Amino acid sequence: MEGCRSTTEYNRALLLEAKRIEKSYGGVRALRQVSFGLLAGEVHALVGENGAGKSTLIRVLTGAVAADGGSVILDGRPITDNSPHRSRELGIAAIYQQPAIFPDLTVAENIALANETGGLFQLLRRGERIRRATELLESIGAEIDPKRDAGTLTMPEQQLVEIAKALGGKVRVLILDEPTASLTERETGRLFEIIRKLRSEGTGIIYISHRLEELPLIADRITVLRDGETISTSGATEMNTRDLIRLMAGRELSAVFPKREVPIGGTAFEVNGVSSAVAGISGITFAIRRGEILGFAGLVGAGRTQLAETIYGIFPADSGEVRLDGEGLSIRNPGDAIRSGIAYVPEDRRSHGVAGELPVRANMTLSILDRVSNGPALDENAERLIAGNWISSLQVKTDGMDERAGSLSGGNQQKVAIARALATGPRVLIVDEPTQGIDVGAKAECHRIMCDMAAKGVAVMMISSELAEILGMSDRVAVMRGGRIAGILERGQATAESILALALGESNQ
């Protein structure tokens, strides 16, 4: 993947500056004397664990919240009375991990709503709106029909529309929040090309990502935040991943993958010849032993998530069998899977992992309502007791079990989803992309939880697109390709090269 970092000296003009920003919520200080500078034509990465202050700083820059102290300066002039509308007028735009797209409107209408200010008459000028949207999309090489309904767009297409919206507002500062979290390598490369183009035109770009390995490809400088404070700012080539992790979390790289040896028992879970035409998988056979973490690797579209969903009863199996402790299982739906002792933590925690509007305690007990109910009535005391135990055990950072789950950080939302799965007392735990989009500290906690479950004799099936995670946490690695298992590697055989060879169909195994 080609990067866009320049080797020129940092002698471009200072475009945006945050000076000694202070922000507190109640008694919690979110930002402490934070300073940050962005040059014109620069990609400046902003990194830190969840809770480090990145989101708060971005909200201050975009006018979503007012700082308690300090100043935001654009082109050498302090921004006064900042607000989202004011920041857009000044050319500051943010594109978040979940794009703000109206699915029932067309692409052109979405772009128009963000940029038109001429009242109802102008909004009704459909031809002009389509022409302008086409112009903006073509400027970034996006082959998207402006008359297309936005609800049909893929995630990468939604991001392109968001960038087009920003360009329509004459963006000067573009903030990208986890832009590659759900993109393939090819899609990421395309995004980098667009960033390179914007950068060459003098746009300043603030780039937020937990994918530390991509920062040397995309960033000129990196600023690290920790506990609401600026820890360091340096050139992207001056820090490697190990340095960044130490600065972000005060811990070494080895602490992110706290894989510990636990006794491996006999075979607990068997999948024999399972196929599903709907899921696109065929002839899947593997076994997991008690205390073992079997990692599932493969390229996007290999069928790993579809396999998990078939085992869990979301997709129907056309043939094959699933056995637990030697006993054949009949799984027609997720309820059957839960009753059989199988728990599943899905990849998309926002849509399927947590119910964002419900409190933390309700989320943790959704899978065991029969245990926290007296007939049709909820036993709130039982619910609170169970939720309190999981909050303590998994070290969930929350203002209380009554807090809305959707307001938690990504890592803590993931812990809530894991708690809901573990509350069922599973003998088999399936986790799909357990640490996607969360910071290194939360990753270490999720990895610790998996090791704890393995130590209790649970068979763990871990699906991950991160090779470091697969290599660091797996006792064995199953590699999928085209809806089939291409091979299973012992821990000593598993390397980045051997896994990719199987995933690409270039191995003789």
Q: Which two tokens stand for residue 434?
A: 């357990």
Q: Is the dihedral of CA 260, 261, 262, 264 positive or negative?
A: positive
Contact 72, 16 (CB under 8 A): yes
Say what percent of the chain tops pLDDT 90. Answer: 42
Q: Which residues touch 16 (CB under 8 Å, ≥6 apart)?
A: 37, 38, 61, 72, 73, 74, 92, 173, 204
- Of 93 and 379, the structure prediction assigns the larger pLDDT to 93
- Of 165 and 255, the structure prediction assigns the larger pLDDT to 165
Q: What is the mean pLDDT of residues 456-479?
A: 91
Q: What are the DSSP E strand ranges found in 257-301?
A: 267-276, 281-289, 293-298
- Any idea where the domains of the chain sit in the sequence? 14-250, 251-341+426-509, 354-423
Q: What is the mean pLDDT of residues 33-58?
A: 90
Contact 343, 428 (CB under 8 A): yes
Q: What is the 3-state secondary structure (H, E, C) of 71-123?
A: EEEECCEECCCCCHHHHHHCCEEEECCCCCCCCCCEHHHHHHHHHCCCHHHHH
pLDDT in tens, 499-509: 878 887 765 54
Cα–Cα distance, 456 to 78 (Å, whole number): 57
pLDDT in tens, 287-313: 999 999 999 998 777 899 999 999 999
| DSSP annotation of 393 | H
Instruction: Determine how many CB atoms are found less than 10 A away from the CB of residue 334.
Output: 16
Among 28, 45, 52, which residue's Cα sits nearest to residue 441? 52
> Domain 14-250 is classified in which CATH homologous superfamily?
P-loop containing nucleotide triphosphate hydrolases (3.40.50.300)
Give me the pLDDT at residue 10, please: 43
Contact 164, 130 (CB under 8 A): no
pLDDT band, residue 350 (cuts 50/70/90): low
Q: What is the mean pLDDT of residues 108-118?
A: 78
pLDDT in tens, 361-374: 988 888 888 787 87
Give me the pLDDT at residue 254, please: 56
Examine the pLDDT at 71 and tell me if it is beyond 80.
yes
Give me the pLDDT at residue 459, please: 97
Angle at 346 between CA 345 and CA 351, to 5 degrees: 125
How far are the Cα atoms of 27, 88, 379, 420, 482 from residue 375, in angstroms, in the given order? Answer: 41, 53, 9, 21, 46
Q: Which residues touch 92 (CB under 8 Å, ≥6 apart)?
A: 16, 61, 62, 63, 74, 171, 172, 173, 175
Q: Which two tokens stand for residue 504?
A: 């690409």
Contact 294, 286 (CB under 8 A): yes
For tokens 């529309």, what's the residue? 161
pLDDT in tens, 469-506: 898 899 999 999 999 999 999 999 998 788 878 887 76
CATH class label, 251-341+426-509:
alpha beta
Examine the pLDDT at 99 and tell me if it is beyond 80.
no
Cα–Cα distance, 499 to 505 (Å, whole number): 10
Average pLDDT of the chain, as a whole number: 86
Give me the pLDDT at residue 154, please: 83
pLDDT band, residue 456 (cuts 50/70/90): very high
Cα–Cα distance, 388 to 391 (Å, whole number): 5
- Count of residues for the chain? 509
Phi, psi for residue 253 in degrees, rounded to 5: -55, -35
Among 54, 95, 396, 32, which residue's Cα sits nearest to residue 229? 32
Q: Fold match between 14-250 and 251-341+426-509?
A: yes
Q: Which residues touch 381 (CB under 8 Å, ≥6 apart)?
A: none
SS3 498: helix
> Per mean pLDDT, which range of 348-357, 400-409, 424-433 is the poorest?
348-357
| DSSP annotation of 151 | G
pLDDT band, residue 36 (cuts 50/70/90): very high
Q: Which residues touch 409 (CB under 8 Å, ≥6 apart)?
A: 50, 51, 397, 438, 442
Q: What is the 3-state secondary structure (H, E, C) of 290-334?
A: CCCEEEEEECCCCCHHHHHHHHCCCCCCCEEEEEECCEECCCCCH
SS3 359: strand
pLDDT band, residue 65 (cuts 50/70/90): very high
For tokens 């909820």, what's the residue? 378
Examine the pLDDT at 5 and tell me if it is beyond 50.
no
410-422 vs 380-393: helix crossing angle, rounded to 10: 120
